[in-house]
Amino acid sequence: MKMKKKISVVIPTYNEEANVVPLAKAIVEVMERELSHYDYEILFIDNHSRDNTQALLRGLCGENKKIKAIFNARNFGQARSPVYGMKQAYGDCVVRMCADFQDPVEMIPVFVKEWEQGHKIVIGVKNASQERKRMYWLRGVYYKMIRKITDIDHIEQFTGFGLYDKKFVDVVRDLHDPMPYLRGIIAELGFDYKAVPYTQPKRRAGKSKNNFYSLYDYAMIGITSYSKVVMRLATFAGFIIGGLSFLAAIVYLVLKLMYWDRFSAGVAPMVIGVFFLGALQLFFIGFLGEYVLSINTRVLDRPLVVEEERLNFDENEENSPVKITGESRSADGTGSITPETLAAVGMLLQQYSAAARSAKESDMEDPADKPGEQTGV
C-alpha cells in the first residue's frame, strides 16, 4: 500500500489565545475536506506566551495527536523561533504560516497543487492588504530598498507564508545560523519558486506583537546579513565630502584674498558643517555597530531555541531534538544496546584479557630457563 505524502504545517505563536483554537480547527477542516489523500501534522511553536496560549495548545494536543507543540524556554524572537519550528518538521513539505489568520488557510490547497506540479517552493505574495495603509506602504518601501542594496533578489511583499519542499527544509536544517533571515535564505539558497498572489486580510483577533523596535531589529538582520552597500557608502561619502570641503576652502581663500576687508565668512558655515559631519559620523557608526552586533551574535554561536517542553512527539521519531551525549547508538539508530551487542563486546574483552595475561607471564619468565638462550659467554 502506497504511503500518503505528509504535509507539516508550522505555526509560531506568541500570546495568541484568541486564535490558536479556531486556526487549528480551520486547518484540520481544510486538510480533511480538500486534502484528505494526504497525511498531515500541525506543529505550533510557542515563544513563551504570557497568556493562556500554552494551556489551549495542551488541550488541542490532547484532543488530536496530529497536533504537536513546542514550548520555548523564553521568547527567542520572530526570526529564530519560526525557522527552528521548520527544522523540527519532517513532512514531505512544510507550510509556514502565522497564527493571526492574516495568512489565509484557504491558500494551503493552492500551494499543494503548485507543489505537485513540481515547484519546490511556493510562496504567497501580497498584492493587497487590509492592514493599515501606512504600514503596508512602509513595508513596500523597505522591500524595495533592501532589494536595491543587496546582491540577492529579495522578494517584495513576502512575509514567509508559503510551502517548502523537504529538500529545501533539509538545506535550512543544515544551516548553522543563530540569526536566520528566511526571506534572504530563500532568495540566496532556495530553488526556483512559484509566487501566488493573495490579499492579506485583517488580524482575526488580538493585537499585533510587532512594534517599531522588533520590526527595526528584523530589518537590520536582513541588511547586515546580505548588504555591503551601507558601509561602502561611508567610504564614498568620506571621499565626496572631503573633496567638497577642499573646494569650499579654496573658494573661501580666494574670496578672502580678493575682498579682504569686505568678505566675512562668519561662524554659521562652520557650525553647520560641524553638525552635518557629526550627524553623518553617528549615522555610519550606528550602522557599523549593527554589523558588529551581527558578527558578535554569530561568533557566540548560541542555539536557535532552547526548548522547555514538547507535546505529541514520539521519542523515537526522527524529529526528536538532537542531544550530544556519550550514549552509544546501535545500528538501527534507536540508541539502545541489544543483547547481541553486549555478548560480542564481552567476548572481545575476554580475548583481550587472556592475551594480556599470556604476555605478562611470558615477560616474567627467567631468560636463563629458556632453551637455546645464553646470557653470558
Q: What is the pLDDT, as a whole number, of residue 153? A: 76
Q: Do residues 72 and 45 make contact, with C-beta atoms less than 8 angstroms apart? A: yes
pLDDT higher than threshold 50 for residue 334: no
Q: pLDDT tens digits, residue range 234-287?
A: 888 888 888 888 888 888 788 778 877 777 767 777 777 788 888 888 888 888
Confidence of residue 30 (pLDDT cuts 50, 70, 90): very high
Going by C-beta distance under 8 Å and a sequence separation of 6 or more, which residues neighbour residue 238? none
Q: What is the pLDDT of residue 347?
A: 59
Residue 369 has pLDDT above 70, yes or no: no
* pLDDT recorded at residue 361: 56
Tens-place pLDDT, residues 100-123: 889 999 999 999 999 999 999 999
- CB under 8 Å to 165, separation ≥6 — which residues? 92, 93, 115, 120, 121, 191
202, pLDDT greater than 50: yes
**CB neighbour list of residue 17: distance below 8 Å, 6 or more residues apart:** 49, 51, 52, 53, 56, 206
Q: For residue 145, what are the CA distances in angstroms to 14, 105, 183, 184, 227?
A: 29, 30, 14, 14, 11
Mean per-residue pLDDT for 203-220? 75
CATH of 6-209+304-311, one of 3.40.1180.10, 1.10.1040.10, 3.90.550.10, 3.30.420.40: 3.90.550.10
Question: Hey, what amino acid is at 295?
Answer: I
- Rounded Cα distance between 125 and 160, Å, is 9
